[in-house]
Amino acid sequence: MLENYIPIIVLFGIAIVLAIILMSLSRLLGPYRPNKNKLNPYESGMDPVGQAKERYSIGFYLVAMEFIVFDLEVIFLYPWAVGFLDLGLEAFFAMTIFIVILFIGLWYTLKIGTLDFSMKPTLANR
């Protein structure tokens, strides 16, 4: 019955081919008179070519990035927490190792000062 998915795959292929054809056609057939504003992509009103003064604080990105990682890694804890009693000691040790590894990562970011907004975080060495 999985053969029923052939149309989907065909659709998938057609979609891609069609997109390519349309893009090429519009380029080939339509008049092409680029100017700065035309070429500027419409990114919900944001200018993709940003100015220096518009930058967010670097700390903003850093916190966001660390949040993503640590937040998502925790998803491994949920299944374990659900089956904690059934899984037994071995799984407990495994998860301990997992958490220790995560912790080492966190510890590293703390030590090099990514969460210290007052100073510039850096990989500086010497």
Say what the alpha-carbon torsion angle 55, 61, 62, 65 is, to the nearest 10 degrees. -160
Residue count (the chain): 126
The single residue among 5, 25, 92, 115 that binds other proteins, judged by CB under 8 A, is 5
The single residue among 31, 43, 45, 85 that binds other proteins, judged by CB under 8 A, is 43
CB of 2 to other proteins, least distance (A): 5
Closest to other proteins by CB, 1 vs 29, is: 1
- DSSP class of residue 57 equals P
Q: Are 47 and 40 in contact (CB under 8 A)?
A: yes
Helix (H), strand (E) counts: the chain:
5, 0
Contacts with other proteins by CB under 8 A lie at 2-6, 8-9, 11-13, 15-17, 19-20, 23, 41, 43, 48-52, 55, 58, 61, 64-66, 68-69, 71-73, 75-76, 79, 90, 101, 104-105, 107-108, 111-112, 123, 125
